[in-house]
Structure 1
Amino acid sequence: MRPKGHWILLLLTGLALFAALLIDGFAAGQVGEGVERPGPAGGRAPAAATRAGPVLNLTDGTLRSTRPAAGTIALTFDDGPDPVWTPRLLDVLRRHGAQATFFSVGSQVARHPGLARRMVREGHEIGSHTYSHVDLGNTPSWRARLELDLSQRALAGATGRGTRLLRQPFSGTPAALTGAQWRAAKAAAGRGYLTVLTDRDTEDWARPGATAIVRRATEPAGKARARPGAIVMLHDSGGDRRETVAAVEEILQRLSARGYRFTTVSEAIGLRDGNPRASFTAQAAGKALVLGQRGSGWVVGGLTALFGVAAVLTVLRLVLLLVFARMHTAGVRRARRRRARRRADPYLPPVSLIVPAYNEEAGIAATIGSLLDTDYPGPVEVIVVDDGSTDRTAEIASSFTGIPGVRLIGKPNGGKPSALNTGIAHARADIMVLVDGDTVFQRDTIGNLVAPMADPRVGAVSGNTKVANRGGIIGRWQHIEYVIGFNLDRRLFDVLQCMPTVPGAIGAFRREALASVGGVPGDTLAEDTDLTMAVCRAGWRVVYEETALAWTEAPATLRQLWRQRYRWCYGTLQAMWKHRRALVERGASGRFGRRCLSYLSLFQVVLPLFAPAVDVFTVYGLLFLDPGTLALTWMFFTVMQALAGWYALRLDGEPARALWVLPLQQVVYRQLMYLVVVQSLVTAVLGARLRWHTIRRAGTFGGTPDTPVRQSVP
């Protein structure tokens, strides 16, 4: 099967994001060789080199060196350009009419091309300091070539010029030249570069104070001469350069008073042009590099912010769920005490149990049997609506019609909402319980489910759906999701009085509430969510009764799970869009919209939509950043999820041993659910219509509901 276009687009987007991360990571030195410190010295450079002048020319294979002319000072600044300190240094130089040479990092030039253009415009010179500040002496040859080429491209793209000057990161005076740096200098000479060292290393990177920086810059090294020329090493990036800015001001004043002239390295050594104009091709390639790196920087910045926002929102959601679960538990206890005081006059209304069924032969017998096997003392009728099944559903259901209170209604296939509305029209009671054809009740479920209806303000009650077939890993994942996700959410929605969904598997409705919204809607694929939202907007309370248990058969394969969740998610999006006006309305409808729809939009649409990008960032981090930090972060969130899961399982009376599948669920199942959201959103945006996806039943209850039905309430 050919993949759909949006999946190809999603894959390409993921690859583009990863490529952007790689580009930005390479520029920051996170991808490839380390850049924090130089590697082994690799022996010593030849004596002739260590005694040479600060500018080494090896382009013809022999060592020639030179020094600045007498009376000239070439101030050089490494590691920039920096958006804070480089402009301040340029301002100081402009006030004194001085020129300098900036050995700039190519990636920084690409990030701040305007600063590079200002340097050239004001008569300064730019040399290469590699692209990502790597130690060329301890870098593979291919990486060294790439560093130099990319640095040239960045300079050409930003300024339209190239450079013939190179200063290796971590280099200093000729006397400190290592064997590895000497070999790198020879390799660079083969590409036309002059290696520029320094006469006076101020070591301003260590922030020794402005006075020490001035002293090192103004005291001539070696044998004193009359106004000797010198190359002075400073830095315009790499940290707080406040001391450097102050020192440069004093250096210019003090040495100008001695008659020194401040110029570029090229002019100081008599080089014709250190920044020749780049070719059109080089400029075009450079502009593409600058644009690509800046774009990558924006992408990485966005992903970093997104990662942080997602982390904060995830923690906030977990905290809210736990706090509101606690509040809900306290409220349930109070309600139970009130009901206990009314035992003399118990609330036992007649109840109609409506079961819409389409091709449910695998479980319909267990469903009907569990509804009949109830300890509810009030009048109960069971209405099975066969929605044009093509299997033995009607035959099996008809075998129960001899039992008083059981009716079978047949109709042509018209969809679940149509079947429900048919059952509602034939129901005799004012309290109706809607039950899926693959669900079984416990003996006390009906009584627990209708008990909250004693409050006339309650229009609907959501029961507690349990996964019956939780034997395999997929079943266990869904069990965790039902308990931690769905049920914790329902407790929060109950407290906030904005329940979005009474599940189709188990829900009680008051006839008056159903009539007020026109019955079960049929224009969305999530009729239970659509109906519940309409009931809430109509002013009815919808509550969650955790003791009303129903056991349902969950999808047993990933394909079936995908089909089910795709329908659920798409239908929920339809319902949210249908009820969007609740966001701006007043009263109960507005309260529901601003509380529930905002929550659903943020946590079930927006965050899942961007979650794949966060996952791409996480994979990149594990490969190229500090994996320990990311592992600790992942463990922190997993532990928080586990604590929330433990509390949710405890509230539901479930054993905590189910949590062993949680870490794997975070890696596999969560991504599957995110992709479901992406698929649903694409379908909605494209305006495509989604058919009702039926799920093949495995017959979990096997027609013998005794085991799940007879289980006691935890």
Structure 2
Amino acid sequence: MKIILINCLIFGSILWLLRTIIILLLAREQKQRTKNRLITSTLFLPESTYPSVSILIPALNEAQTIARCMLSCIACSYHNKEILVIDDGSTDETSREAGIIQSSHPANRIKVFKLRHNKGKTAALNYALSQATSDLIVTLDADTIFSEKNSLHTFLSPLIHLKNCSGTTANLHVRHPHEPLGMVQRIEYTKVLNSSKRAQSLLRSILILPGAMSAFRHQALAAIGGFSASTLAEDADATMQLLRQGHLLTFQANCIGVTEGPHTLIDLLRQRLRWRVGQLECLIKHSRLLLASPATTFFYIDMGVMNTISALTPVITVLALSQDISDAFLPLTTLMIGCFAADLAATAITFQLDDQSMPGLWAYVLYVSFFTLFSPLITWAAISQLLFNRTTGWHTSKRY
């Protein structure tokens, strides 16, 4: 029994290391290939040739962030746009704050809709989609902003220059990177999410275009019936549906979106639980992606395997420690140190790819501690919700 458990730990560590090396190599290649392409720069076309874009902003109790979000959209130099805010039954002053921005910027096409009852983010997005009149659709969380005036140009350029491209997503950064939880999320976004997006974009197999900041062809979304409410991850659901139909999806690393992110541990755990449940639901719903292409098969299995490792590693570790491992103490200690060293190196590489400064050791320790302790719990909680058919609703994190 002891030998089996130790071998499982070694095998899992080797599997994780190989996976990390593959992702990093693909991410680096993606950056090199897109470095000098037109799609990573601002557009050089006449303003009159820009396709129209509708920016959809679903909001639930976002009175503290909605104005900042709307103003960032207004500030974008891309003029052929409309802004649609959907207040999904908020109990605060979200509609009032959005209305103030609307009335104070009459030159901009802004519409504010107030739903009488909370129907969920998917319903809010679909309502906005039914009101949108543009060729392109941008989904934007109410706590997320464009970082620069030319961000929208850069963001939409793949959809304009590549006729077979139907969706794209941005490079998300955390707004509060100096808070303890902000440090954790900053490393997670850069190391885990963005590096995976780079690798998947290179092989044309992006599995999730996050709703926080993504863009689509209106026609492509309409063809799949808009956003589905059958899973908790409407963004992943739509992405996988488009991928199954052969649409090209890309990652725009040069477009920076700044998102608020949770400030409290409870909010962070609730958000990650919703993400994890939605991802697992989408993997089950879109299992045919296993046969779509070799690259899609790899990333589909990768998502499933990473969730499995997240769930089983603590169990195997506890069982191994319950045995007499004195004769295996040195190799296991060496394995642990090696894994931490490799992970730290991987973190440094991903921050270099993203042109960001490497976080301090304290931030890295917080990140490792959080995901070592809480990621397995989130995975098991997600599995429990799926098994017992429980749901997690849309909620708003505390704002500061």
2:373 is aligned, of 671, 676, 680, to 671
615-624 or 635-644: bigger deviation:
615-624
- Could you say which residue in structure 1 is the equivalent of 2:44? 343
8 A Cα contact 1:358 1:389, kept in partner: yes
Matches within 5 A, 1:4-153: none
Matched, 1:427 2:140: no
Amino acid at match of 2:304: S
Task: Kindly indicate whether structure 1 or structure 2 has the higher relative contact order, using CA contacts under 8 Å at least 6 residues apart.
Answer: 2
C-alpha distance in 2, partners of 1:684/1:330?
40
Amino acid of the residue matched to residue 598 of structure 1? Answer: I
Query: Do residues 696 (structure 1) and 378 (structure 2) align?
Result: no
Give the distance between the partners of 1:657 and 1:683, measured in 2 at CA: 34
Specify the alignment match of 2:81 in structure 1: 380
Is 1:476 aligned to 2:183, yes or no?
A: yes
- What residue number does 1:418 align with? 123
Cα displacement string for residues 450-499 of structure 1 (whole angstroms, at most 9, x for unaligned residues) = 01112011110011111112222221011101100001111111112111
Tell me the equivalent position of 2:111: 407
Does the CA-based 8 Å contact 2:120-2:394 persist in structure 1? no
**CA separation in 1, counterparts of 2:203 and 2:324?**
40
Residue 610 of structure 1 and its aligned partner are, at CA, apart by 1.0
Q: Following TM superposition, by how much is the alpha carbon of 1:557 offset from its aligned partner in structure 2, in angstroms?
A: 1.8
Q: Contact (CA 8 Å) 2:39, 2:154: kept in 1 or not?
A: no
2:249 to 539, 542, 545: 542
Find the residue that maps to 2:396 and give its secondary structure: coil
1:21-75 CA-partner distances (Å, limit 9, x unpaired):
xxxxxxxxxxxxxxxxxxxxxxxxxxxxxxxxxxxxxxxxxxxxxxxxxxxxxxx
Change (3 A) 1:379 1:653: same
Other-structure match for 1:652: 354
1:195-594 equivalent positions in 2, closer than 5 A: 297=1, 300-336=2-38, 343=44, 348-376=50-78, 378-402=79-103, 403=105, 404-412=108-116, 413-442=118-147, 443-453=149-159, 454-584=161-291, 589=292, 594=297
Aligned residue for 1:546, secondary structure, equals strand
**Secondary structure at 1:389 match in 2:** coil
Determine helix, strand or coil for the equivalent of 1:649.
Answer: helix
User: Alpha-carbon deviation of 1:624?
Assistant: 3.8
Distance 1:530 1:424 in 2: 16
For residue 410 of structure 1, report the CA deviation from its aligned partner: 1.8
Contact kept? 2:64, 2:399, Cα under 8 Å: yes
Confirm whether residue 630 of structure 1 aligns to residue 332 of structure 2. Answer: yes
User: Whole-Å Cα distance in 2 between the matches of residues 321 and 591 of structure 1?
Assistant: 15
Q: Partners of 2:358 and 2:151 in 1: how far apart?
A: 23
Judge conservation of contact 2:167–2:248 (CA < 8 Å) in 1.
yes
Query: 2: distance between equivalents of 1:599 and 1:345?
Result: 42
Check the 8 A contact 2:86/2:115 in 1, yes or no. yes
Give the drift of 1:695. 3.2
Aligned counterparts of 1:562 and 1:602: Cα–Cα separation in 2: 21
The question of whether the paired residues in 1 share the 8 Å contact of 2:311 and 2:380 is answered with yes
* Cα deviation digits, residues 179-207 of structure 1 (max 9, x gap): xxxxxxxxxxxxxxxxxxxxxxxxxxxxx
In structure 2, distance between residues paired with 1:406 and 1:316: 49
Cα deviation for residue 666 of structure 1 reads: 2.3
State the shift of 1:435 in Å.
0.2
Task: Single out whichever of 657-666 and 443-452 deviates more from structure 2.
Answer: 657-666
Q: Given residue 143 of structure 2, which amino acid in structure 1 is its aligned partner? A: D
One-letter amino acid of the counterpart of residue 471, structure 1: H
The residue number in structure 2 matching 1:127 is none
How far is 1:595 from its partner? 3.2
Asked whether the 8 Å contact 1:564–1:695 carries over to 2, the reply is no
1:345 Cα deviation after fit: 6.0
- Residues 289 and 297 of structure 2 are in contact (CA less than 8 Å); yes or no, is this contact kept in structure 1? yes
1:613 aligned onto 2:318:
no
Partners of 1:360 and 1:697 within 8 A in 2: no
Q: Which residue of 2 aligns with 1:598?
A: 301
CA distance in 2, matches of 1:339, 1:487: 18
- TM normalised by structure 1 equals 0.52
Instruction: For 1:472 and 1:621, locate their aligned partners in 2 and report how far apart those are by CA, in whole Å.
Output: 39
Asked if the contact 2:180/2:366 (under 8 Å) is kept, the reply is: no
Other structure's SS at 2:210 match: coil
RMSD: 2.3
Contact 2:39–2:157 under 8 Å retained in 1: no
Q: Return the letter of the residue paired with 1:526.
A: A
Q: Is the 8 A contact 2:61 2:396 kept in 1?
A: no
Change (3 A) 1:418 1:505: same
CA distance in 1, matches of 2:262, 2:198: 25
Distance 2:39 2:265 in 1: 44
| Cα displacement (A) at 1:337 | 7.9
In structure 1, runs of 5+ residues without a counterpart are 1-296, 700-714
Q: Is the 8 A contact 2:40 2:252 kept in 1?
A: no
Partner SS, residue 177 of structure 2: coil
Verify the 8 A CA contact 1:353 1:380 in the aligned structure 2.
yes
CA distance in 2, matches of 1:460, 1:424: 15
Q: CA deviation at 1:680?
A: 0.7
For the residues of structure 1 that align with 2:74 and 2:398, how far apart are their CA atoms?
22
Letter in 2 for 1:438: D
Residues 64-123 of structure 1: CA distance to partner in whole angstroms, max 9, x if unpaired? xxxxxxxxxxxxxxxxxxxxxxxxxxxxxxxxxxxxxxxxxxxxxxxxxxxxxxxxxxxx
* Letter in structure 2 aligned against 1:445: S
Could you say if the C-alpha distance between residues 363 and 664 of structure 1 is closer, same or farther in structure 2, counting changes exceeding 3 Å? closer
Q: Cα gap change, 1:620/1:698 in structure 2, threshold over 3 Å: closer, same or farther?
A: same
Identity score, percent: 26
Contact 2:137 2:215 in 1 (8 A): yes
* Distance in 2 separating the partners of 1:482 and 1:622: 39
Evaluate the alpha carbon distance shift between residue 560 and residue 338 of structure 1 in structure 2; reply closer, same or farther with a 3 A threshold.
Answer: closer
Change (3 A) 1:462 1:331: same
Unaligned runs of 5+ in 2: none
Shift of 1:344: 5.7
Bigger mean CA offset, 309-318 vs 651-660? 651-660
CA distance in 2, matches of 1:359, 1:301: 53
Q: CA deviation at 1:319?
A: 0.5
Cα deviation digits, residues 568-622 of structure 1 (max 9, x gap): 10011111111113324xxxx455752332221112x221121112432565589
Task: Give the alignment partner of residue 683 of structure 1, picking from 368, 371, 385.
Answer: 385
Give the drift of 1:393. Answer: 0.3
